[in-house]
Chain A
């Protein structure tokens, strides 16, 4: 019984408009794909698929960078001066 109430309240809470809005927010975060066939009408499934691929790519990048940093670790001694330089490079 409580599960039915959960279902119904979830349906009223998630209007299609809300979902469309959230999906478009996501789409704007994704890197542009030059040879995509669909221009504006990318289906929700496509956006989610691209999102999954993008997250996997980012995870892989973090992995590679962790590997790179592990090899550079001998030279990393980030005192306050170096930390300040790095932070200024990030703006």
Chain B
């Protein structure tokens, strides 16, 4: 049972791998692969990218601000595709929430008196949900987000190498 050489089944890496492989198999089954028109290839690439983010977000679930933000974004994307009218409503609400929180944060940031507001703002754009985070949360969430991204890259690389031969 305690085999150090086997991947811990409850680890993030393992959960992501299982989900992502399942998603890839599903994507392959959806359309005939023989068609290699540029649009088809691009659609496949988009679907795989979304599957990678989705698999990661679902593996982390709602334990992190960034994963919650990503799940929210993914879900509102799928609603928008089903019903274009409701999507527009969603988008406006989201913008309203973001604007409200970012206004509060603008006040805090100016009060901080530290010399890296610009860099922190740039980071907020890169981390999902970053616009609503204060500085402490931003730094903490970023560390976790980076760990998950490196896991994502590692697994995707292994899968690509595995199927390249």
On A, residues with C-beta under 8 Å from B are 3, 6-7, 10-11, 13-14, 18-19, 22-23, 25-26, 29, 43-45, 48-49, 51-52, 54-56, 58-59, 61-63, 65-78, 82-83, 85-91
Contacts and interface: CB of A to CB of B under 8 A. Distances in A.
Contacts of A18: 136
Contact of A22 (B27, B123, B136): B136
A69 B111 contact: no
Main secondary structure on chain A at its contact with chain B?
Answer: helix
Interface of B: 5-7, 13-14, 17-18, 21-22, 24-25, 27-28, 33, 41, 44-45, 48-49, 52, 104, 107-108, 111-112, 114-116, 118-120, 122-123, 126-127, 134-136, 139-140, 142-143, 145-147, 149-150, 152-160, 162-164
A6 B41 contact: no
Nearest to B148: A58
A91 B7 contact: yes
Contact of A89 (B33, B153, B162): B162
B119 A73 contact: no
Given A25-B143, A73-B28, A91-B6, A52 B45 contact: no
A13 B136 CA distance: 9
A76 B143 contact: no
A72 B164 contact: yes
B143 A65 contact: no
A82 B28 CA distance: 16
Contacts of B140: 22
A44 B123 CA distance: 13
Contact of A72 (B5, B135, B155, B160): B160
B155 A19 contact: no
